[in-house]
Amino acid sequence: MNSIVAEINTNTKTLSTKIINDDPKTFTDASFPIGSAAHQGDVILVRIKELPHKAVVRQDRQMAIGNTQGSRHILQNGNPFDCNASEVIGAITSVCRGVELQEKYIGPVFQTVQDKASLIHPEHGDHYYEGDMTIACIYQRNLDVEEREQRVRD
């Protein structure tokens, strides 16, 4: 009996390390076409066609709100922008049909510079973007016990 429990514990530990995939990821034009989405922890990154018209250069290179280690989604080698949330929603829904978004979950947008951008994070796998890309950040949401939406925070 003890050997069975030990084997289950070993297999569980092995499987849990395989489920969590925080390896660095590289996204190219071919592997990440317009309308594609990827996660870096609680931030969802969606490739959109172009920068929204009312975009304003953003000084803060942190793409998530907060001051915890989990909020440290830091853009390197790219240009960050603050955008009108309704424009970002329009840009996303034009390439991702059937998606429903609320303005409170819309974050910054960034573009590659000279076909490169890096989104670095201390806990989740770093993301490397290669190609002429515009990426919108969406904050993940979950329902609480009373089925109210809550923004997820690392």
Region 84-100: mean pLDDT is 95
Structural domain includes residue 78: yes
Structural domain includes residue 2: no
Helix (H, G, I), strand (E, B) or coil at 46: strand
How far apart are the two ends of the chain, measured CA to CA in Å? 39
CA pseudo-torsion sign 36, 38, 44, 50: negative
Structural domain includes residue 18: no
Structural domain includes residue 17: no
Q: Is residue 70 pLDDT above 60, yes or no?
A: yes
Tokens 């429903």 correspond to 100
Structural domain includes residue 65: yes
Tally of domains in the chain: 1
| Residue range(s) defining the domain that contains residue 27 | 23-151
Dump pLDDT digits (tens) for 118-135. Answer: 999 988 899 999 999 999
Predicted local confidence at residue 143, as pLDDT = 56
**Which pLDDT band holds residue 19 (cuts at 50, 70, 90)?**
very low
Predicted local confidence at residue 67, as pLDDT = 85
Structural domain includes residue 128: yes
pTM: 0.80
CA 50/CA 41 separation, integer angstroms: 24
Q: Helix/strand/coil (H, E, C) string of 7-31? A: HHHHHHHHHHHHHCCCCCEEEECCC
CA 85/CA 107 separation, integer angstroms: 8
Q: Is residue 148 pLDDT above 60, yes or no?
A: no
Dump pLDDT digits (tens) for 43-64. Answer: 999 999 999 999 999 999 999 8
Asked if residues 12 and 100 have their Cβ atoms less than 8 Å apart, the reply is no
Q: What is the mean pLDDT of the chain?
A: 86
Structural domain includes residue 99: yes
Structural domain includes residue 3: no
Element (H, E) at 2: helix 2-19
Percentage of residues in the chain with pLDDT exceeding 90? 63
DSSP assignment letter at 112: E
Q: Is residue 21 pLDDT above 70, yes or no?
A: no
